[in-house]
A and B are shown apart, each in its own frame.
Chain A
Amino acid sequence: AQSVTQLDSQVPVFEEAPVELRCNYSSSVSVYLFWYVQYPNQGLQLLLKYLSGSTLVKGINGFEAEFNKSQTSFHLRKPSVHISDTAEYFCAVSNITGAQKLVFGQGTRLTINP
């Protein structure tokens, strides 16, 4: 079984500042890793995913994440945030074999202040 822990439930930052949203996972098998974003009153959409290869993954809207197998982490970063990045961010994992099933973290609410 897998589990995901997002270490911060809320992260307030000022516009144009850098941000890091932290995600740690636990699994006895190899996993794929995902970050999804939920804008206010909308469904989730995929920001980026790690399946294999380079551990630095680039996604939409200037976000990137780095997979660290030894620390079982997949932290999300953006060098300069905008007001429009205000949203809830979910880290998720899935087993690389068998049927697709996403296990989500608790979510991190990112608030951008002007």
Chain B
Amino acid sequence: EAQVTQNPRYLITVTGKKLTVTCSQNMNHEYMSWYRQDPGLGLRQIYYSMNVEVTDKGDVPEGYKVSRKEKRNFPLILESPSPNQTSLYFCASSLSAGAGREQYFGPGTRLTVT
């Protein structure tokens, strides 16, 4: 089944404890992206990747890191999480970076930082 998977689905952590949220797609997509969803703000892009080893900042990149060493994986790293990073996170992928392409979303990771 073609899908985007994220792990973990739920995570509660403490301020300052490094964490990684994994994202993997099995559709051989070139483009991958991370979003955070907050009430009343919709989804905002954190980072995106147009292909292996090519990543760039989105609208809200502060406090996050990403890497794209393999085409299928695009982990999101929080080196020192803070409470304002409590949010619902979505990974998405698309066949290519060309505009107009459908993005396929993972099921989401709900992160709570205390």
Contacts and interface: CB of A to CB of B under 8 A. Distances in A.
B90 interface: yes
Given A43-B90, A44-B105, A100 B42 contact: no
Nearest to B58: A101
Interface string A70-114: 000000000000000000001000111111111011110000000
A106 B40 contact: yes
B100 A101 contact: no
B74 to A, nearest CB: 15
Interface residues of B, number: 29
B48 interface: yes
Contacts of B43: 44, 90, 102, 104
A43 B90 CA distance: 7
B105 A100 contact: no
Contacts of B42: 4, 6, 90, 104-107
A9 B107 contact: no
A9 B58 CA distance: 25
Contacts of A98: 99
Given A43-B4, A43-B106, A44-B90, A102 B100 contact: no
A46 B95 CA distance: 14
Interface in A22-60: 32, 36, 41-46, 49, 51
B97 interface: yes
Given A43-B107, A99-B50, A100-B31, A32 B100 contact: yes
B105 A45 contact: yes
Given A43-B107, A101-B48, A102-B45, A96 B90 contact: no
Residue in B31, B90, B100 with the greatest tally of chain A CB atoms within 10 Å? B100
A96 B101 CA distance: 10
Interface of A: 4, 6, 9, 32, 36, 41-46, 49, 51, 90, 94-102, 104-107
Interface of B: 4, 31, 35, 40-45, 48, 50, 56, 58, 90, 92, 94, 96-108
Given A42-B108, A97-B99, 11 more contacts: A4-B42, A43-B4, A43-B105, A44-B90, A90-B42, A96-B99, A100-B97, A100-B98, A104-B42, A105-B42, A106-B41
